[in-house]
A and B are shown apart, each in its own frame.
Chain A
């Protein structure tokens, strides 16, 4: 038999070449440049691990990691609680089931950037004005201007948008639970609360895992929300890791340095995702 490249090879080859050139190659380049002092243009030389060492002493970088983690953890927890509650509601015997589901999913189809601009107005103009008229002195200045509290505004917008998606996933999970389990537990006299913890929650555990991992991963990459709301400010109070890499990597002449930051960022995201999956799946099995 002659050995001729299978037709499958021709189906794959162009895609593989393109994927390697436009995805893998840039990743490798990024890793390569992280060991140099390349500014994005001009001459460069190898600097070994200098960039990596510098990041651990860089206040801006540490601040970005601190902010991003704080934001991501709080948002992940809130999104999961809220979307689980909405999903339980939508799964109950309610009227206008389809319309309500449609409305609750709507934020997911809208551009985060534009939604962010709208909320920007609400936070910076609408709420302060309402506060002034009603005498709530604590809220008369925009929350976006406060280095200590601007992150809360970003959490609100992020949760507003992301809850839609997580709700739909939880709904899909709830649909997999056989109804007779509830009938049996009702006969045994289980309370609603017991029913939730003993039946509903264990059975949607895989969906809880997916939601926690996806939400965390997405929130760690937060970018659009921040551009629309604060631009990273005041100062650098709400500068996320992606935003830092974008801002200083392109405009700040820190191409190589921010590449090193991106490599660390990559390792962090993979580590957290794997860790989460391990922990959460262990829980799934036990229950």
Chain B
């Protein structure tokens, strides 16, 4: 526990510093509710009359609900399958690390973390289009597969700390190896599952480059991708743009508001391991 007096100078400095973080968001919010004429008068002022017209127009122009649905679908499916499959793979590796083949496999997966995406980018697009996976499901598949490198690393570190005796007792009682994993190990992985889930969700939700090269059909576009197309076509009406950005940022912000503690600790745990 920290004892002693509150350090007010530092507190005040930190509060002042938050202006730098909040200012771009403030600009976004106030201008999303203004007309171009109002913005022309003053960018900083609060709207005289809060108008929702920008939002309705932006929703129509970007087909917002479709993009939101796409991002949501991609993120949820990716997170669920990532947690279910990557943990299983890591379990098999973690329990056999004393064998050469498994150890090799571990280093094979983990070393792929260093491969920058651009080296895969050109061939993977060719490959995905030749097997007809230039769509959301193809994208989900790539997220799950590419997540393996880092997630296996996280999971293996965690699984090693779980004593084997529990499993052996269950095996003696007639439980299969699969049963051991799903009934005993997987529930014990909750903290690390949360970390992996949060990191994966942040990645899949905010990612831009992979959807940009993989999603060929405009109806499949995710929220960041829609903003990109929108920005390049309707760059002149800033109020419209800001309401569109705000709507794209809002789901994550709201989620963050409620799950702040979890998200920060999840990300910290993931990062420290690496």
Contact = CB atoms under 8 A, between A and B. Distances in A.
A110 B206 contact: yes
B268 A168 contact: yes
Interface footprint category on B: 35 or more
A223 B209 CA distance: 8
Contacts of B267: 108, 165, 168
B194 interface: no
Interface stretch (B53-61, B142-150, B161-169): B142-150
B121 A245 contact: yes
A221 interface: yes
A22 B142 contact: yes
Contacts of B118: 221, 241-242, 245-246, 249, 262, 265
A108 to B, nearest CB: 7
Given A96-B15, A103-B18, A113 B227 contact: yes
Interface centre among B28, B120, B124, B223 (most CB of A within 10 A): B120
Contact of B11 (A96, A220, A269): A96
Interface in B1-47: 2, 4-8, 10-11, 13-15, 17-18, 20-22, 24-25, 27-28, 43
A11 B224 contact: no
A214 B120 CA distance: 20
Given A262-B119, A266-B115, A109 B271 contact: no
B27 A105 contact: no
Contacts of A227: 208, 228
A48 interface: no
A100 B116 contact: no
B76 interface: no
A269 B145 contact: no
Interface stretch (A86-94, A143-151, A195-203): A86-94
B268 to A, nearest CB: 5
A105 B169 CA distance: 44
A49 interface: no
A15 interface: yes
Nearest to A263: B119
B189 interface: no
A19 B148 contact: yes
Interface centre among B91, B115, B227 (most CB of A within 10 A): B115
A102 interface: yes
B20 A160 contact: yes
Interface in B105-132: 105, 109, 112, 114-127
Contacts of B263: 105, 109
Contact of A12 (B7, B93, B126, B202): B93
A114 B88 contact: no
B79 interface: no
A26 B123 contact: yes
Given A92-B7, A113-B228, A100 B124 contact: no
B116 A262 contact: yes
A30 B227 contact: no
A241 B119 CA distance: 11
Given A19-B148, A122-B27, A249 B238 contact: no
What's the dominant secondary structure at chain A's contact region?
helix
A121 B2 CA distance: 43
Contacts of A114: 224, 227, 245, 248-249
A101 B264 contact: yes
Interface footprint category on A: 35 or more
A121 B241 contact: yes
A246 B214 CA distance: 13
B92 interface: yes
A117 B245 contact: yes
Contacts of B256: 102, 106, 109
B6 A8 contact: no
A27 interface: yes
A51 B28 CA distance: 45
A235 B176 CA distance: 63
Interface of A: 7-9, 11-12, 15-16, 18-19, 22-27, 29-31, 33, 40, 86, 89-90, 92-96, 98, 100-115, 117-119, 121-122, 125-126, 129, 160, 165, 168-169, 171-172, 179, 210, 214, 220-221, 223-224, 227-228, 241-242, 245-246, 249-250, 255, 258-259, 262-263, 265-266, 269-270, 273
Interface of B: 2, 4-8, 10-11, 13-15, 17-18, 20-22, 24-25, 27-28, 43, 85-86, 88-89, 91-93, 95-96, 102, 105, 109, 112, 114-127, 141-142, 145-146, 148, 176-178, 181, 202, 205-206, 208-209, 213, 223-224, 227-228, 231, 238, 241-242, 245, 248-249, 252-253, 256, 260-261, 263-264, 267-268, 271-272, 274
